[in-house]
């Protein structure tokens, strides 16, 4: 790891000030993505600004219609929260499938969504449940947030404060884990929400996306057979040593069917 | 360099470290507690697992400065008055180790699993062990030890 300066921020304003005055500063959340990347010298920030001391970024709030999760809330806290289990069991279930227990004890929802790894789990929930990303500057709708491979709508001086998930009528997440890393080869969140059916896919493309054809079919009839014959074009999907684009396209259908059956 | 202070196995410790010093380096090289192992560069093997404020974490993927003020327990902190911790005793009884390289991490993870799942069944233990790799045992006896430890 290259040398850097470490700062602990006391508030969101303090974090933004420290970030602005750094040469090439980076936010540090759980460090479960950033630190391995720095250990491999694939990233070499001049300064790390640690958010772990900011109480306002932690915790889970449920009000009638939404579950709001602070950016620094860990995967374990989301998974084990009785409130989340009651309001959106699919979200608790998803958080419990991320990595392993030690990763879940440190990794945060804000870090995962800011990073937007093409195989990360939370992006499927953000897209599939139609979440809103709240930053220090504005609210960003899920459909406007993911822009491409590790690319999001976040500006350089923008920080995720919390993520709000509207409580769906029903939802389920199904993931086909890459057996070594546990990241999603493909993961699909299917939800029946107040504004209709949403299908959020992660792992298959450069970033999470919806499948309108499946949403329409499920809107007509919410049953696994409705998506059975819908094929996803493999053009532009991810292809690597773990699976071809065609394989991933096929998995989207399989995971969607399982999610509908489980919802 | 900056000063970092924490509690390790019940003792207050502090040292001057670089910000890039990993918690595992602090534990092994500054405190000379070499029971905590390093088995990979990619946060995947779990040999470095310690408890930070009661939760299992991978000390190879934390900076020492992130543990400022924390209460850390390593494998050396488990046995009391020359008596093995029940999880260590279970690994011995069920032969949950061969070369022993993964064992400190397995024991620390095992305690954490039973803390969160007091009556963990085999399926739960296997799912919960996804972050700990053993190249020797084939896991069967590790799973048995974790399930049967009298913690
Ligand atoms: C062994 C292993 C297995 C894993 N398996 C999975 C898996 O199966 N599924 C999965 O989804 N993930 C997996 N992960 C990744 C894990 O979920 C990370 O915790 C997560 O991707 C990043 O969160 P973090 O809090 O650790 O962020 P960090 O690593 O601290 O930061 C990640 C990036 O986000 C930025 N950032 C952090 N917080 C904010 C914020 N509030 N606002 C703006 N920018 C911010 C940082 O600057 C950095 O660029 C795995 C990781 C490991 C090490
Ligand atoms: S040394 Fe920490 S996970 Fe391998
Ligand atoms: S006993 Fe040798 S690696 Fe587990």
> Quick check: A222 pLDDT over 90?
yes
Reported as a single tens digit per residue, the pLDDT across A23-43 is 999 999 999 999 999 999 999
At residue B88, the pLDDT reads 98
Together in a domain, A235 and A152: yes
At B60, give phi and psi (nearest 5°): -80, -10
> Quick check: A193 pLDDT over 90?
yes
Together in a domain, A205 and A236: yes
Together in a domain, A167 and A130: yes
> Quick check: A64 pLDDT over 90?
no
Together in a domain, A156 and A30: no
Together in a domain, A124 and A45: no
**Partner-chain contact B130 A48, CB within 8 Å:** no
Percent of chain B predicted with pLDDT > 70: 100
At residue B6, the pLDDT reads 98
At residue B94, the pLDDT reads 98
Q: How many CA atoms lie within 13 A of A46 on its CB side?
A: 8
Q: Whose CA is nearest to atom 1 of ligand 2?
A: B38
Give CA–CA dist A206/B71, Å, rounded: 40
**Is the model's pTM score more than 0.90?**
yes
- For residue A159, the ligand 1 atom closest to its alpha carbon is 42
Together in a domain, A225 and A106: yes
Query: Which of B16, B19, B41 is the best mutation test for A, with the most CBs of A within 10 A?
Result: B19
CB A209 within 8 A of CB A201: yes
Mutation probe of ligand 3 site: the residue of B44, B45, B94, B137 with most atoms within 8 A of C-beta: B137
Reported as a single tens digit per residue, the pLDDT across B82-117 is 999 999 999 999 999 999 999 999 999 999 999 999
Reported as a single tens digit per residue, the pLDDT across A97-119 is 999 999 999 999 999 999 999 99
Mean pLDDT, range A200-204, rounded to an integer: 98
At residue B8, the pLDDT reads 98
Alpha carbon of B130 to ligand 2 centroid (Å) = 13
At residue A179, the pLDDT reads 85
At residue A76, the pLDDT reads 98
> Quick check: B2 pLDDT over 90?
no
> Quick check: B55 pLDDT over 90?
yes
Together in a domain, A47 and A175: no
Together in a domain, A131 and A197: yes
Percent of chain A predicted with pLDDT > 70: 100
Q: How many domains does chain A have?
A: 2
ipTM comes to 0.97
**Partner-chain contact A102 B20, CB within 8 Å:** no
Alpha carbon of A31 to ligand 1 centroid (Å) = 6
> Quick check: A216 pLDDT over 90?
yes
At residue A181, the pLDDT reads 87
Crossing angle, helix B86-93 and helix B140-148, to 10 degrees?
A: 140
> Quick check: B21 pLDDT over 90?
yes
Ordered structural domains, chain B, with CATH: 2-76 (3.10.20.30), 86-148 (1.10.150.120)
Mean pLDDT, range B58-74, rounded to an integer: 98
> Quick check: A210 pLDDT over 90?
yes
CATH number, domain of A42, equals 3.30.43.10
At residue A180, the pLDDT reads 84
How crowded is residue A44: how many other Cβ atoms within 10 Å of its Cβ? 13
Together in a domain, A66 and A51: no
Together in a domain, A118 and A25: no
Owning domain of residue A45: 5-55
CATH number, domain of A147, equals 3.30.465.10
Which of A3, A102, A182 is facing B56, going by the closest CB pair?
Answer: A102
Together in a domain, A50 and A70: no
**Partner-chain contact B43 A4, CB within 8 Å:** no
**Partner-chain contact A52 B66, CB within 8 Å:** yes
Handedness of CA A169, A172, A221, A199 (dihedral sign): positive
**Partner-chain contact B49 A181, CB within 8 Å:** no
Give CA–CA dist A26/B132, Å, rounded: 29
- 10 Å CB burial of residue B81 (0-12, 13-18, 19+) is exposed
Mutation probe of ligand 2 site: the residue of B105, B129, B133 with most atoms within 8 A of C-beta: B105
- Cα separation values, A247 from A19, A186, A233, A235, A242, Å: 42, 10, 11, 12, 10
- 10 Å CB burial of residue A208 (0-12, 13-18, 19+) is buried
- For residue A108, the ligand 1 atom closest to its alpha carbon is 25
Q: Round the average pLDDT of chain A to a whole number and report it.
A: 97
Chain B residue whose CA is closest to A77: B55
At residue B1, the pLDDT reads 80
pLDDT band at B70 (very low <50, low <70, confident <90, very high): very high
Together in a domain, A137 and A251: yes
At residue A2, the pLDDT reads 95
Reported as a single tens digit per residue, the pLDDT across A142-161 is 999 999 999 999 999 999 99
């Amino acid at each position: 790891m290259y040398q850097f300066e470490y700062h602990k921020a006391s508030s969101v304003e303090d974090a933004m000030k420290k970030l602005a005055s750094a040469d090439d500063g980076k936010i540090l959340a759980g460090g479960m993505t950033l630190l391995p990347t720095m250990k491999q010298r694939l990233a070499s920030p001049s300064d790390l600004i640690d958010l772990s001391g900011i109480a306002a970024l932690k915790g889970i709030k449920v009000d009638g219609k939404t579950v709001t999760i602070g950016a620094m809330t860990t995967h374990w806290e989301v998974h084990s929260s009785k409130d989340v289990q009651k309001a959106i069991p699919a979200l608790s279930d998803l958080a419990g499938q991320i990595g392993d227990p030690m990763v879940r004890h440190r990794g945060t929802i804000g870090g995962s969504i800011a990073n937007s790894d093409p195989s990360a789990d939370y992006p499927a929930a953000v897209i599939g449940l139609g979440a809103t990303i709240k930053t220090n500057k504005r609210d960003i709708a899920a459909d406007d947030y993911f822009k491409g491979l590790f690319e999001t709508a976040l500006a350089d001086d923008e920080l995720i404060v919390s993520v709000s998930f509207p409580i769906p009528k029903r939802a389920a997440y199904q993931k086909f884990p890459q057996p070594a890393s546990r990241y999603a080869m493909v993961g699909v969140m299917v939800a029946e929400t107040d504004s209709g059916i949403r299908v959020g896919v992660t792992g298959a493309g450069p970033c999470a996306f919806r499948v309108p054809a499946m949403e329409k079919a499920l809107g007509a009839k919410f049953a696994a057979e409705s998506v059975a014959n819908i094929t996803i074009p493999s053009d532009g999907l991810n292809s690597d040593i773990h699976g071809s684009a065609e394989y991933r396209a096929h998995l989207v259908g399989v995971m969607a069917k399982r999610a509908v059956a489980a919802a | 360099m900056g000063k970092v202070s924490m509690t390790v196995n019940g003792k207050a410790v502090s040292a001057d470290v670089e910000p890039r010093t990993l918690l595992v380096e602090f534990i092994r090289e500054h405190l000379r507690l070499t029971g905590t192992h390093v088995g990979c560069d990619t946060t995947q093997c779990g040999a470095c697992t310690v408890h930070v404020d009661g939760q299992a974490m991978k000390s190879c993927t934390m900076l020492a400065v992130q543990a400022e003020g924390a209460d850390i327990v390593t494998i050396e902190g488990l046995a009391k008055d020359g008596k093995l911790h029940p999880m260590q005793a279970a690994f011995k009884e069920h032969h949950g180790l061969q070369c022993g390289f993964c064992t400190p991490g397995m024991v620390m993870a095992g305690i954490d699993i039973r803390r969160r799942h007091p009556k963990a069944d085999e399926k739960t233990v296997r799912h919960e062990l996804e972050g700990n790799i053993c190249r020797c045992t084939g896991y069967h006896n590790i799973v048995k030890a974790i399930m049967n430890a009298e913690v």
